[in-house]
Structure 1
Amino acid sequence: MNLQKPYSLDEAQKILENYCAYQERCHKEVTDKLRNMRMIPEAVDTIVVHLIENNYLNEERFAKAFARGKFRIKKWGKNRIIRELKFRQVSKYSIDSALKEIDSDDYSETLHELTQKRIAQVKEKNIYKKKKKVADYLLYRGWESNLVYEKVNELIK
């Protein structure tokens, strides 16, 4: 049986301030955490408003940090970033704003490097199968299909 001590509004607010200060969070993560703490809907709303007013919670800032991080560290394409942000219920405005954080030259360069690296890893003799394997990998990582096929055809001959 799960006996969890009830939190006062102030306690919950402090916990969530620390939670948001530690790393950028989206609204969905914060409301989910409050629900897991068994806070009533009115308390959830009050705390979320407090976090927004005191700049602990900022959806656009979260989206920008998320997009930069996933692109730089995991080398995700824009489609995957958009899909993940939508899953986190981030607004279209914040998503569009986040995608502007990705420099187009860096984007092209990263796709080129990622494609070359994958070509070296795929040990397929049949050129068409090799192209398909490389393209599937890049599409899975969220790169746009027109860019993927253009790059694969350019690098595999």
Structure 2
Amino acid sequence: MNSNKLKSSYEFSIAPNSVLALDLEGTLISNAMSQIPRPNLHPFLTNCKQAFQRIVIFTAINEERFRKIAILLSDEGAAPEWFKDLEYINWSGEHKDLNFIPNSNMSRTILVDDRVEYIQPSQIDYWLYIPEFAPPYPGADNELNLLWEKLLKRHSDLMK
């Protein structure tokens, strides 16, 4: 498989009322300072947009900082144009509580994050782990491909 392509042999349609909540730092990019996009970010996001009714950003950085990073990633072609307009979830406290996502059904929501300590313990079943994208930032990082395969399994469950 070409490392620049995200594989998918699965035909899918948008799962009704589904929400995909994505962390930013360590998940989609390195961090808010270096802003290195994870390999395969653009095709990963494109596939997610085709499978989930709603995609939201659920990150510890503030919205203004997220918007600047999202614009940069979109302008550089590392992320789709629509990425800069993603819904941003404001939250507070120690955990990313899915109840912060307005007009969503928790049972139809998936949270992707690299840090278990941010996950509300009672909502661990709605979390998908991705290893942190950290130095030395391997160009051969295949984690978004692996995550996509996990998301396809969850997507299939949402379609039932």
TM-score, scaled relative to structure 1: 0.24
TM-score, scaled relative to structure 2: 0.24
More contact order relative to length (CA 8 Å, sep ≥ 6): 2
